[in-house]
Amino acid sequence: MKISQLKSVNAILLFLLLFLNIGCQNKTEKSDLAKLNLQIQMQNQNKEIVREVFSAIDNRDFNKLKELFSDDFALNAPGVTQPWT
Protein backbone atom coordinates (compact mmCIF):
# COMPACT_ATOMS: atom_id res chain seq x y z
CA MET A 1 0.00 0.00 0.00
CA LYS A 2 1.09 3.49 -0.68
CA ILE A 3 1.35 6.11 2.04
CA SER A 4 -1.63 8.03 0.65
CA GLN A 5 -3.74 4.85 0.77
CA LEU A 6 -2.67 4.21 4.38
CA LYS A 7 -3.64 7.76 5.32
CA SER A 8 -7.04 7.23 3.69
CA VAL A 9 -7.56 3.96 5.54
CA ASN A 10 -6.48 5.56 8.83
CA ALA A 11 -8.83 8.47 8.24
CA ILE A 12 -11.72 6.08 7.55
CA LEU A 13 -10.94 4.07 10.70
CA LEU A 14 -10.73 7.25 12.72
CA PHE A 15 -14.13 8.38 11.46
CA LEU A 16 -15.62 4.95 12.16
CA LEU A 17 -14.33 5.02 15.73
CA LEU A 18 -15.63 8.55 16.16
CA PHE A 19 -19.09 7.59 14.90
CA LEU A 20 -19.15 4.48 17.09
CA ASN A 21 -18.30 6.62 20.09
CA ILE A 22 -21.01 9.13 19.20
CA GLY A 23 -23.47 6.28 18.56
CA CYS A 24 -22.90 4.85 22.03
CA GLN A 25 -23.47 8.24 23.62
CA ASN A 26 -26.63 8.72 21.61
CA LYS A 27 -28.11 5.51 23.05
CA THR A 28 -27.91 7.00 26.53
CA GLU A 29 -29.25 10.31 25.30
CA LYS A 30 -32.04 8.57 23.41
CA SER A 31 -32.98 6.64 26.54
CA ASP A 32 -33.07 9.86 28.57
CA LEU A 33 -35.07 11.55 25.82
CA ALA A 34 -37.56 8.68 25.74
CA LYS A 35 -38.02 8.94 29.52
CA LEU A 36 -38.54 12.69 29.21
CA ASN A 37 -41.09 12.18 26.43
CA LEU A 38 -43.02 9.69 28.58
CA GLN A 39 -42.99 12.15 31.46
CA ILE A 40 -44.29 14.92 29.18
CA GLN A 41 -47.04 12.65 27.85
CA MET A 42 -48.10 11.80 31.41
CA GLN A 43 -48.12 15.46 32.38
CA ASN A 44 -50.27 16.28 29.34
CA GLN A 45 -52.69 13.48 30.25
CA ASN A 46 -52.89 14.81 33.80
CA LYS A 47 -53.53 18.35 32.53
CA GLU A 48 -56.35 17.08 30.34
CA ILE A 49 -57.93 15.24 33.28
CA VAL A 50 -57.76 18.39 35.42
CA ARG A 51 -59.35 20.40 32.59
CA GLU A 52 -62.15 17.83 32.37
CA VAL A 53 -62.70 18.00 36.14
CA PHE A 54 -62.96 21.79 36.14
CA SER A 55 -65.18 21.72 33.07
CA ALA A 56 -67.50 19.23 34.78
CA ILE A 57 -67.57 21.41 37.90
CA ASP A 58 -68.34 24.53 35.83
CA ASN A 59 -71.12 22.68 33.99
CA ARG A 60 -72.38 21.00 37.18
CA ASP A 61 -71.98 17.65 35.45
CA PHE A 62 -71.79 15.40 38.49
CA ASN A 63 -72.07 12.21 36.45
CA LYS A 64 -68.90 13.20 34.57
CA LEU A 65 -67.17 13.89 37.90
CA LYS A 66 -68.10 10.43 39.12
CA GLU A 67 -66.55 9.00 35.93
CA LEU A 68 -63.33 10.93 36.45
CA PHE A 69 -62.82 10.14 40.14
CA SER A 70 -61.86 6.75 41.51
CA ASP A 71 -64.46 4.48 43.09
CA ASP A 72 -63.25 5.20 46.61
CA PHE A 73 -63.26 9.01 46.19
CA ALA A 74 -65.06 11.02 48.86
CA LEU A 75 -65.22 14.81 49.05
CA ASN A 76 -65.29 16.26 52.53
CA ALA A 77 -65.99 19.98 52.70
CA PRO A 78 -66.67 22.37 55.56
CA GLY A 79 -70.37 22.68 56.27
CA VAL A 80 -71.24 19.43 54.48
CA THR A 81 -72.58 16.79 56.84
CA GLN A 82 -71.99 13.80 54.51
CA PRO A 83 -69.12 13.41 52.07
CA TRP A 84 -69.98 13.50 48.38
CA THR A 85 -69.27 10.12 46.81
Q: For residue 64, how many other CB atoms are within 10 A of its CB?
A: 15
Per-residue pLDDT, 51: 93
Per-residue pLDDT, 77: 83
- pLDDT tens string 16-33: 666 666 665 667 777 888
pTM over 0.75? The answer is: no
Mean pLDDT within 65-80: 86
Mean pLDDT within 38-57: 93
- Does residue 49 register a pLDDT over 60? yes
What b-and-e string marks burial along 32-59, b requiring 16 or more CB atoms within 10 Å of the CB? eeeeeeeeeeeeeeeeeeeeeeeebeee
Per-residue pLDDT, 40: 92
Q: Which among 42, 43, 39, 21 is positioned nearest to 31, based on CA atoms?
A: 39
